[in-house]
Amino acid sequence: MSFAHQLTILSSVLTSTAAGWRGGAGRPFFKQPEQRPVLFDIENCPYCRMVREAATALHLDLDIRPCPKNGTRFRAQAIEIGGKLQFPLLQDPNTGTVMYESGDIIDYLFRTYAKRAAPGMYKKTALHTASSYLASATRTGAGQRAKPSRAPEQPLVLWSFEVSPYSRPVRELLCELEIPYSLHNLGKEHWTEIGPAAQRLKPGPYVPKAGGKREGFVRAHGRVQLPFLQDPNTGVELFESEAIMAYLTTTYAA
């Protein structure tokens, strides 16, 4: 890992800390809906972050439509769907729901997909909002403004979870390049998964929770390490955030 990328990851750790490490654990036996809800999103937006935290807590996968400032690819579509340029914007094809306001979206997601009210740590409160603003400030604008890019023919696929310090820089770059992607949330399901993939707190071989989402990932890919990017346009599959960011820049930056 280059020194510059180490600094990026260190900054991302500070971001996760400022955000209270919300969005790290997910429901292991969550059943995905027939269609992924669509989130029109700015990665470094404090309010969008709170919605993505809730999605990780649910293990709910989303289709992300990045709408960075000065972006041109999805902002007009967002206005067409919702009527105004405001983010986050959720469009759920499973229920026909279109809605703004992070607190309303969080409550909707928990009531619709967990049949319960949002837990206290995920509810939108003044403290939650303030910590999310502080988290955004630590990234000094990363994941906020559009960069020239080439649009992929098909959306990419990213396995991630919100609070992952290694996944965040990849999501920031995807947002800046306005690259749509399917976000597969793979939050931690048990205390034995605490720590990076190569340095988990529990010694010995890693064993995912039986029947959980992570067990399925291990069967498919041999290990649980995030982020993991799949590009159906080129057939490329990559672990390691630095390698993924280099690939995205080479392949899609204009």
pLDDT digits (tens, 9 = 90+) for 35-94: 999 999 999 999 999 999 999 999 999 999 999 999 999 999 999 999 999 999 999 999
CA–CA distance, 37 with 122 (Å, rounded to integer): 19
Q: Which has the closest alpha carbon to 197: 169, 176, 162, 228?
A: 228
Which CATH number covers residue 42?
Answer: 3.40.30.10
Q: How many domains does the chain have?
A: 1
pLDDT for res 197: 65
pLDDT for res 71: 96
pLDDT for res 1: 83
Single-letter code of the amino acid located at 182: S
CA–CA distance, 76 with 57 (Å, rounded to integer): 30
Residues of the chain with pLDDT below 70 are 192, 194, 197-202
Contact (Cβ atoms closer than 8 angstroms) between residue 59 and residue 26: yes
pLDDT for res 26: 83
Residues pairing with 244 in the sheet: none
Cβ neighbours for 54, distance < 8 A, ≥ 6 positions apart:
23, 105, 106, 109, 110, 118, 122
CA–CA distance, 252 with 159 (Å, rounded to integer): 19
How much of the chain is in helix, strand and coil states, percent to nearest 5? 35, 15, 45
CA–CA distance, 129 with 47 (Å, rounded to integer): 7
Residue 14 domain boundaries: 3-252
